[in-house]
Amino acid sequence: MNQKVLSKLEYNKIIDMLTEKADSQPGKKLCRELLPSTNPEEIRKNQTQTSDALSRLFKVGSTSFGSNSDLGFSIKSLEIGSTLSIAELIKIAAMLDNVSRIKTYGKKDRDDIPDDSLSEYFEQLTPLTQVANEINRCILSEEEIADDASPRLKSIRRSMIQTNEKIHSQLNSMLAGAYRTYLQDAVITMRDNRYCIPIKAEYKGQVNGMIHDQSATGSTYFIEPAAVVELNNKIRELELEEKEEIQIILAGLSAIAGEHTEELATNQKIMTELDFIFAKAELAMDMNGIAPVFNEEHYINIRKGRHPLLDKKKVVPIDINLGKDFDLLIITGPNTGGKTVSLKTVGLFTLMGQAGLHIPALDRSELSVFTEVYADIGDEQSIEQSLSTFSSHMKSIVHILKHADADSLCLFDELGAGTDPTEGAALAIAILNYLHDRGIRTMATTHYSELKIYALSTSFVENACCEFNVETLQPTYRLLIGIPGKSNAFAISSKLGLSDEIINAAKEQIGKEDKSFEDVIADLEQSRITIEKEQREIAEYKERIRTLQEQLQHKNEKIDQAKDRILREANEKAKEILQEAKDVADETIRDFNKVSAGADIRELEKKRQKVRDKINEKNAKLSIGASKEPTIKTLDPKKLKKGDTVKIVSMGLKGTVSTLPDAKGALFVQCGIMRTQTNVKDLVLIDEVTINTPTLQRTGAGKIKMSKSLSVSTEINLLGKTVDEALSELDKYLDDAYLAHLPSVRVVHGKGTGALRNAVHNHLKRLKYVKEFRLGEYGEGDAGVTIVTFK
């Protein structure tokens, strides 16, 4: 790509943003050298790496490559056997520690997780833990080697401490003894790295020793007493031995590191590449970007693209397509309406995509691989070169026309401007025809009506305009493809206070054809607004229908589950009742056999009463409400008549009253072919179900009342809500969903700026009944949706 277009489309500013995301200097250097590629396979590989790094950032979180540094000189020194300095060894240890952390960061949680494009990078890292630990053990900082670095160093430093203590002991005794009156100050000082005491000038001859210095006034001499000369000499010797031993230690550490120069070089290269890849991913996260789909048919389809250098909270997303139904797009509209931004968005997205960077747009946005991008944007007039605005533009256009081919993308801002409008429009049409005939993908902005007509009358050429709100005198920045733009000069002037007389006079200067053309554009604009409104309403209806269908399906599933559960429980209960009835019957038969053998009849009556009480207890617990079962009413003995249908509770039999009860309440009941005697207290009166039609009428008591929880949707839509509104609604919804025993739900928060998504994720982390949550995958809504799983 030519450097001029990189500057015109502000690609360098994107690179500056990318460089800030890198942690290490080698990584930043790689970012600064990033240029768009023209190799489709390389582009797809780079995009995949960025996507995989972004996925890891979402799943695992960020990491740091800050300790990665350029070890090229140090590695070459090790290869020839040189000894590295303390600072160089510290850099190697810091990088190896960083490698260990990155190696851990790249490990998979489970073996069944598939590898991605970055797995090989992490596998090739070699932490060299023993080398790093040995360097860190021996070197504490750039100014300090550990005493335990070697036994000899520890011995030398112990001797230095002991010698220092002897020197201080002797000098302190002198200060407190015979030399006390000779002293200027009772302190021990250093001169030329030797211990001295300050002696008054008049007493310098009284002290036996070496003079090392005197004060500026000459009143004080700094003398090294003869008694400590040998000890000072010993300190100097020990210091030289310490330096020599430190060099031996550094040489040993360098030798250990020198055995792994190949691994060190590989580590540095991979760490630099990973830092660069994750910098691209972090930039994509900040921009809320996606990986564009690349094609080789020179087809561009940007969905809700946002210029990355504009405030993402204020920028208006635009939809642009080029190269499929038309290869030349002419954009018209008022100044400051967004025409140039649209041009730059297409050009910058192309450069970013081919450089392996994600673009801030919706999923499934498409870009194509162009060998060259040309842009004539901005004013390059030059007094020194005698170039006017028109001349500077034409010089750039001539260069583009000379070098552009079918694999190029050409962008022109205000094509043909800066000269006579008639000639400028004619020249612009000729230039566009030249590019159009050669199949070169081209976008151009203009104010000329002639170019609008050219687009309407020429195949594979399309109009577009930047929408403008005449009521507010403000551009909406929406790009509308297929509609030529209207200048709105008269409407804007009228709103700003220009008199109707002047405006009407101006309108009379416009020819009938121009006026008719403007009226057609106005009608098209009105029709477009109406159609868009209807389309929005249709989309809302479709979304409402889809939601209702999902709720209905979910409700039906719940009903089926509840039905299966009720039937299963009923069968289990019936089995228990039958088993209990069998046990009671067996026990009753045994008791009857005992009676036959002469058992006490009163004991048998007690057992019978016990069984009766047990049956009454069971009946009290059972709810009789099935529509096909008879309705049980309380028995009134006075209203009991022969022929009434009753139920003998203790036996569970239904029969007909044969005789009225006597004074004790005894009576006979005919149960089928069996006539049995019972007591009125063991009877309940039954109203038979009235059969009105061939099918029984179900009563209300037989309906299953479903819980409100069964109507809870599996999805909540938070689009268009503020963070506070969304979190309040989300909290209530998650409570309902959890109580309804939903295994998981889908939270739609959209991509946008990422603020709502971050707020939702932070809220989910605080909920104890949330097991886990993740961003949606392809087909689930991608990064615009979060899937929440309950415990």
Longest Cα–Cα distance in the chain: 151
| Phi (first) and psi of residue 536, to 5 degrees | -65, -45
Give all strands of the β-sheet with 408-412 in edge-to-edge order. Answer: 372-376, 408-412, 441-446, 328-332, 461-469, 474-481
What confidence score (pLDDT) does residue 600 get?
61
Measured in degrees and rounded to the nearest 5, phi and psi for residue 777 equal -95, 180
- What is residue 608's DSSP assignment? H
Contact 475, 336 (CB under 8 A): yes
CA-CA distance, 318 to 286, in Å (whole number)? 19
User: d(Cα 639, Cα 630) in Å, to the nearest integer?
Assistant: 19
Closest-CA residue to 254 (of 125, 66, 80): 80
Listed in sequence order, the residues at least 6 apart from 104 whose beta carbon sits closer than 8 Å to its beta carbon are: none
Cα(660)–Cα(668) distance, rounded to whole angstroms? 8
Burial 66-80 (b: 16+ CB within 10 A, else e): ebbbebeebbebbee
Rounded CA separation 344/352 (Å)? 12
The pLDDT score that the predictor gives to residue 755 is 85
Mapping DSSP onto H, E and C, the string for 710-773 reads HHCCCEEECCCCCHHHHHHHHHHHHHHHHHCCCCEEEEECCCCCCHHHHHHHHHHHCCCCEEEE
Q: Can you name the residues that pair with 656 across neighbouring β-strands?
A: 645, 670
Q: How far apart are CA 417 and CA 113, in angstroms?
A: 58
pLDDT (0 to 100) of residue 684: 84
With tokens 């429009």, the residue in question is 425
Mind giving me the DSSP string for 297-360? S--EEEEEE--TTS-TTTPPPEEEEESSS-SEEEEE--TTSSHHHHHHHHHHHHHHHHTT--BS
Q: Tell me if 743 sits within 8 A of 789, measured CB to CB.
A: yes
Supply the angle between the helices 229-258 and 72-79 in degrees, to the nearest 10.
Answer: 100
Q: What is the 3-state secondary structure (H, E, C) of 160-221?
A: HHHHHHHHHHHHHHHHHCHHHHHECCCCCEEECCEEEEEEEHHHHHHCCEEEEEECCCCCEE
Q: Write the Ramachandran bin of 135: left for phi over 0, alpha for psi from -120 to 50, otherwise beta.
A: alpha
How far apart CA 348 and CA 171 sit, in angstroms, is: 77
**636 φ/ψ sector (left φ>0, alpha ψ -120 to 50, else beta):** beta
Q: Which helix (H) or strand (E) holds 686?
A: strand 683-687
Left (φ > 0), alpha (ψ -120 to 50) or beta: where does 656 sit? beta
Whole-angstrom distance, CA of residue 198 vs CA of residue 182? 8
Q: Which residue has the tokens 């170019």?
A: 451
Partners of 356 in the β-ladder: none
192: which residues sit within 8 A by CB, 6+ positions away?
212, 213
Cα–chain center distance at 313: 17
First-last CA distance in the chain: 54
Which DSSP state fits 701?
G
Q: How far apart are CA 456 and CA 33, in angstroms?
A: 44
Distance, CA of 36 to CA of 133 (rounded, Å): 42
Give pLDDT < 70 ranges for the chain: 112, 334-337, 379-388, 468-476, 485-492, 495, 507, 509-529, 591-609, 611-634, 673, 688-711
pTM for the full predicted model: 0.61
Angstrom distances, CA of residue 466 to CA of 261, 313, 326, 686: 60, 20, 18, 82
Q: Which residues contact 663 (CB under 8 A, 6 or more apart)?
A: none
Tokens linked to 143: 């100014």
Asked whether the beta carbons of 665 and 679 are under 8 A apart, the reply is yes
For the stretch 550-600, pLDDT in tens is 888 888 888 888 888 888 888 888 778 777 777 777 777 776 666 555 556
Per-position DSSP letters for 363-431, written without gaps between them: TT-EEE--SEEEEE-S---BTTTTB-HHHHHHHHHHHHHHH--TTEEEEESSTT-SS-HHHHHHHHHHH
Check if the beta carbon of residue 446 is closer than 8 Å to that of residue 485: no
